[in-house]
């Protein structure tokens, strides 16, 4: 866990040479769904500590799923699966946080915006091993989501250096990559 926290903090700080001309990501969402809430909190707090020790800034490091990580790290951001996002927003919970959510339809994107999402991740756009056997939604889906909402839309799913230019040509605010970093 220590090594992984060091890697992610280094990625956020721009210490890792894996983003080409972009020295560091604008946003780093830390999603580790296999961890318990306690384990996740330990990991996220280590990442934030190491990131802050570097005196780094500019990258928004966002916890995924667990609001306690957002509260304890005092960074003001949280990413939630759409079902949890709806539940929390409808109950008025965590309204002080900037919250993004994952969407898989135009209807969800519109609902997320109406409920005050700071941004949405829309996917999966291209074929990916994370969703083996599930057909990708494609660029038409991404275009439809971007046209339906005014909040930033980030493409996710099967994004890599070779198809990134397609995302740049779309109205999406950016793209999320995962496997690109796993191979490093």
Check whether residue 179 and residue 115 sit in a common domain.
yes
Check whether residue 100 and residue 164 sit in a common domain.
yes
pLDDT along the chain (184 residues), means of 10: 90 72 80 95 96 86 95 94 96 92 98 97 91 91 97 95 90 84 48
| d(C-alpha 71, C-alpha 69), whole Å | 5
| d(C-alpha 54, C-alpha 52), whole Å | 5
pTM: 0.91
Q: Is there a domain that residue 20 lies in?
A: yes
CA 23 to chain centre: 18
Check whether residue 110 and residue 139 sit in a common domain.
yes
78: enclosing H helix or E strand: strand 77-80
Write out the residue range of the structural domain in which residue 22 sits: 1-61
Outline where 66-136 has alpha helix (H): 67-73, 82-91, 106-114
Q: Is there a domain that residue 69 lies in?
A: no
Check whether residue 1 and residue 53 sit in a common domain.
yes
Q: How many domains does the chain have?
A: 2
The closest alpha carbon to 146, from 99, 115, 106, belongs to 106
Residue 184: the pLDDT is: 41
Q: Is there a domain that residue 67 lies in?
A: no
The closest alpha carbon to 31, from 3, 76, 66, belongs to 66
Q: Is there a domain that residue 66 lies in?
A: no
Residue 130: the pLDDT is: 82
* Residues with catalytic function: 124
Residue 156: the pLDDT is: 95
């Amino acid at each position: 866990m220590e090594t992984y926290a060091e890697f992610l903090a280094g990625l956020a700080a721009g210490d890792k040479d894996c983003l080409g001309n972009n020295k560091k990501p604008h946003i780093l969402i830390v999603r580790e769904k296999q961890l318990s809430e306690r384990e996740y909190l330990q990991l996220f707090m280590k990442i934030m500590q190491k990131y802050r020790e570097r005196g780094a800034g500019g990258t928004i490091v966002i916890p995924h799923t667990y609001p306690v990580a957002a509260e304890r790290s005092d960074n003001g951001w949280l990413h939630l699966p759409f079902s949890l996002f709806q539940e929390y927003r409808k109950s008025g919970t965590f309204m002080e946080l900037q919250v993004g959510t994952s969407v898989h339809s135009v209807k969800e994107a519109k609902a997320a915006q109406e409920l005050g999402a700071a941004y949405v991740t829309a996917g999966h756009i291209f074929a990916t091993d994370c969703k083996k056997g599930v057909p990708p939604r494609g660029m038409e889906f991404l275009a439809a989501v971007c046209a339906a909402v005014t909040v930033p839309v980030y493409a996710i799913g099967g994004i890599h250096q070779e198809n990134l230019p397609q995302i740049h040509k779309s109205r999406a605010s950016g793209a999320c990559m995962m496997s690109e970093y796993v191979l490093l």
